[in-house]
Amino acid sequence: MQTFLIRRFLLIVPTLLGATLLVFLIMRIVPGDIAYLLVQGGGEGKVDPAALANMRHELGIDRPVAVQYLAWVGNILKGDLGNSMRTGHPIMEEITRRLPLTAQIALMSVFFGFIGGLPLGIISALKQNSGADYISRLLSIFFLAFPSFWLGLIVLLVGMKFFDWSPPLGYNVLWEKPVTNLQQLIFPSAIIGSHLMAIVARMTRSSMLEVLREDYVRTARAKGLAEATVITRHAMRNAMIPVITIVSLQVGGLMGGAVVMETVFSVPGIGAYLIEAIQFRDYTVTQALVLLFALIFIAIDLLVDVSYGWFDPRISHV
């Protein structure tokens, strides 16, 4: 187990370096010159060459690309993500302020996804080809096709039209204003969760169907265990592994969902920050945030890999 953990940790180093390199390169394929755009300020006409050179120096893009990259990575290792090109504020500060909101949305979505998806999937599997099974499968198919931002708009629309309600705006963290915070975040999380629910239900159903045919389930039933015990202790625990895998593959989708939902519901989280940065062509922020999302993604992937051992002791990673 220990050697597995160590090897797994070492393996993420090249992936991390690669991700920084990739993000850095994407931000450098800009057609035209960032400094030029900034000095020009979107207007027409000639640009003062001195101002241009000045701006290039200020942004540090007058240095060779390799030097720029190394300086950037070096600063990240020191915990410094640089300053916003637009406001000049340190990006790290803004991230720590906004991260709780986004993290809460992500956690609540996963919670909703499992709370809704597991029962649906289990009922589907236990009563295969029944009415309940068809309804649950149909729900999954539909919730996978609805665009999340559209569901968000519909929630806003119904809230305003029929209940004269709209979600609270502004920065509300859970430990300061718990009620406002939940009012603000419950719908974005539920919508992202509905997508996750569909995936969890589908996977749980097929995984349970397979497990229920296993010998150990028949043995458990034969020795007279209560059906509930058979399902929860013997079938479910074994059926969970593919479900966990497929949910872990959805982490990227979850982040994308958070970006979209924060925009729809005006939640000042990391996702909204990213969209804002892109709209104002704030390259330093965009670069830092895409990297941040990649880091979280890689970290969760690692956690999932390690968690398999807990669900199935046979996977002991020797």
Residues that bind other proteins (CB under 8 A): 14-16, 18-19, 21-23, 26-31, 141-142, 144-150, 153-154, 156-157, 160-161, 202-203, 205-206, 209, 251-253, 255-256, 259-260, 263, 274-275, 278-279, 281, 283, 286, 290, 293-294, 297-298
If the CB atoms of residues 16 and 225 are measured against other proteins, the closer one turns out to be: 16
Nearest partner of 34 among 51, 13, 59, judged by Cα: 59
Q: Taking a C-beta distance cutoff of 8 angstroms, is the pair 143, 194 a contact?
A: yes
CB of 172 to other proteins, least distance (A): 20
Task: Report CA 147 to chain centroid distance, whole Å.
Answer: 16
Cα(191)–Cα(173) distance, integer angstroms? 20
Number of C-alpha atoms within 13 angstroms, CB side, residue 219? 7
Non-local (6+) Cβ contacts of 25 within 8 A are none
Q: Quote helix, strand, coil % in the chain, to nearest 5.
A: 75, 0, 25
The dihedrals phi and psi of 266, each to the nearest 5 degrees, come to 50, 45
CB of 205 to other proteins, least distance (A): 8
If the CB atoms of residues 154 and 226 are measured against other proteins, the closer one turns out to be: 154
CB of 50 to other proteins, least distance (A): 26
CB of 168 to other proteins, least distance (A): 16
- 3-state SS, one letter per residue, for 106-144: HHHHHHHHHHHHHHHHHHHHHCCCCHHHHHHHHHHHHHH
CB of 76 to other proteins, least distance (A): 15
CB of 203 to other proteins, least distance (A): 7
| Beta carbons within 10 angstroms of residue 178's beta carbon | 11
If the CB atoms of residues 70 and 157 are measured against other proteins, the closer one turns out to be: 157
If the CB atoms of residues 91 and 259 are measured against other proteins, the closer one turns out to be: 259
If the CB atoms of residues 202 and 220 are measured against other proteins, the closer one turns out to be: 202
If the CB atoms of residues 209 and 241 are measured against other proteins, the closer one turns out to be: 209
If the CB atoms of residues 22 and 115 are measured against other proteins, the closer one turns out to be: 22
Cα(284)–Cα(82) distance, integer angstroms? 7
CB of 261 to other proteins, least distance (A): 11
Q: Taking a C-beta distance cutoff of 8 angstroms, is the pair 267, 184 a contact?
A: yes
